[in-house]
Amino acid sequence: QVQLVQSGAEVEKPGASVKVSCKASGFTFSSHHMHWVRQAPGQGLEWMAIINPSGTSATYAQKFQGRITVTRDTSTSTLYMELSSLRSEDTAVYYCARDQGGSHSLKFDFWGQGTLVAVSS
């Protein structure tokens, strides 16, 4: 069965970086675009990034340009998201999601369990 298992919660200080992983299983990882979405406490969903199936191209929301790097390792079926220069507003649950594909609509059919990143001094 399809599973996306994310790394555990992180507590970071302002200005630090965090790297969240998302290990995929149960499907051909190299066939799907993958995304990162975050959700601050009590807030809505925020789209962050997409990476293509081969990992050769990633696109980021303008808001995160320069602070975010998304990569994937097809040999281990693992997706990564690194966010730098953390500030308190980055405190959120970060989700990886598999795009079902087939159109430019967001068709997230499977999600990771979410990783809480808390930024606090």
Partner 1 sequence: QSALTQPASVSGSPGQSITISCTGTSSDVGGYNFVSWYRQNPGKAPKFMIYDVSNRPSGVSDRFSGSKSGNTASLTISGLQAEDEADYYCSSFTGSNTWVFGGGTKLTVL
Binding site for partner 1 (CB under 8 A): 37, 44-47, 50, 59-63, 95, 97, 100, 103-109, 111-114
Nearer residue to partner 1 within complex by CB, 56 or 75: 56
Q: Between residues 27 and 47, which has the closer beta carbon with respect to partner 1?
A: 47
CB of 121 to partner 1, least distance (A): 28
CB of residue 31 vs partner 1: minimum separation in angstroms? Answer: 18
Instruction: Decide whether 15 or 63 has the Cβ nearer to partner 1.
Output: 63
**Which residue's CB is nearer to partner 1, number 56 or number 105?**
105
Residues 6+ apart with CB under 8 A from 39: 45, 46, 92, 93, 95, 114
Cα–Cα distance between 78 and 24 in angstroms, integer? Answer: 6
Min separation Cβ 72 and partner 1, Å: 16
